Amino acid sequence: MVAAPTAQALALAAGLIRAGRLVGMPTETVYGLAANALDVAACTSIFAVKRRPADNPLIVHVLDAAQASALGDLGPLGQRLAEAFWPGPITLVVRSRQGGGTIALRAPAHPVARQLIALSERPLAAPSANLSGRPSPTTAQHVAAELAGLVGLILDGGPTTVGLESTVVDLSAKVPVILRPGAISPEALAAYGVLATAAGDSHAPSPGTRYRHYRPAIPVVVLVDGPNQSAAQVIDEWALVLAQAGEVPALVWVGDRRPTKWPGRCFASSAAMATGLFAAMRELETKATVLVVAAPPAEGIGHAIRDRLWRAAGGVFRIAGQLPSVDLGKGD
């Protein structure tokens, strides 16, 4: 059931959390599938509902650095990052206070997520509220379409503003490193001595980044700028070649709107693409047989978009200027 986040619905949701049930909750990044992080059975049910691999750990959502510190040791750098970016779209992987392992902690900025944490008086474990492998949900309706009947309640906080999952930073190793790029950019984190990894790097990733991810129901072709041509310039050529091969292409790019006979989405900026990318994937998978996306430049939020696109496309970028091909890798 989808409900507006009234006082009554929030009280009901907090009661469900305390009773070990799951609640769909909006955050500023994407919708999360929340459970009491201290209830092992509740957290186990998240894995079952999402069909998530058991070795992919969950992010725990808290109100602030004080609540985080009860669960993990932020250390001096973690404290500084929390001060600078919490509440907000950054997750800190730190040494857990329990056992010898690590824990991923994030204080979300969305008022509904914060009210749910406060009212349930529990830290909330919450992965993105999609079936494992699918694009993350950015509206309550996306959550309902995939998980209706499997969650107690979905709180509708409207479309999320960031649109891509939080930046994940590992502070538990010798060198602080970005495990997953997000809205808190590599450029912003470099000022704190946090190293970046880029899409396609072989650097030891977050457990979750090993798996197929962010995949709509149709293949995704991602074009990046070449030396002489921009990706956005050549998507029409690609569309033509794919259409001649019997495909129905859908186009997604940043830049000027222009007439095209194919379905698609044109975004005014990289930030707008970040906000709308997953919704566009979900919409266009029903209208086309292949999605052709022109990746934005690798700067700011562009790093995070390219990371998601890289995974959506199964680890392939095509360079603008190379000849279009119809090999969509459907056999894999």
Phi, psi of 113, rounded to the nearest 5 degrees: -60, -40
| Residue whose CB is less far from ligand TXA, 50 or 318 | 50
Piece in contact with Mg ion (CB under 5 A), picked from 55-63, 127-135, 144-152, 324-332: 127-135
In three-state secondary structure terms, 308 is helix
Residues 265-284 that bind ligand TXA (CB under 6 A): none
In three-state secondary structure terms, 254 is strand
197 interacts with ligand TXA by CB under 6 A? no
115 interacts with Mg ion by CB under 5 A? no
Distance separating alpha carbons of residues 202 and 266, to the nearest angstrom: 32
Q: Is-contact 62 123, C-beta < 8 A?
A: yes
**Token pair for residue 287?**
């209208």
Q: Beta partners for 32?
A: 25, 128
32 interacts with ligand TXA by CB under 6 A? yes
Piece in contact with ligand TXA (CB under 6 A), picked from 28-36, 150-158, 184-192, 262-270: 28-36
Count interface residues toward ligand TXA (CB under 6 A).
28
Query: Quick one: what does residue 103 bind among Mg ion, ligand TXA, none, with the CB cut-off 5 to 8 Å set by partner type?
Result: ligand TXA
| Amino acid symbol at 115 | Q
| Residue whose CB is less far from ligand TXA, 183 or 252 | 183
Residue where the block lists tokens 């985080």: 68
Instruction: Identify the DSSP state of 195.
Output: B
Residues 123-152 that bind ligand TXA (CB under 6 A): 126-128
Nearest Cα residue to 31 out of 94, 123, 105, 124: 124
Please state the closest distance from residue 297 (CB atom) to Mg ion, in A.
25
Residues 97-116 that bind ligand TXA (CB under 6 A): 102-104, 106, 108
Candidate list 36, 45, 91, 128; residue touching Mg ion; CB under 5 A: 128
Distance separating alpha carbons of residues 107 and 125, to the nearest angstrom: 11
**Token pair for residue 222?**
């991602």
- What is the Cα Rg of the chain in Å? 20
List contacts with Mg ion (CB under 5 A).
Answer: 128
Task: Give me the residues that bind ligand TXA (CB under 6 A), please.
Answer: 27, 29-30, 32, 56-59, 89, 91, 93, 102-104, 106, 108, 126-128, 165-166, 168, 179-180, 206-209
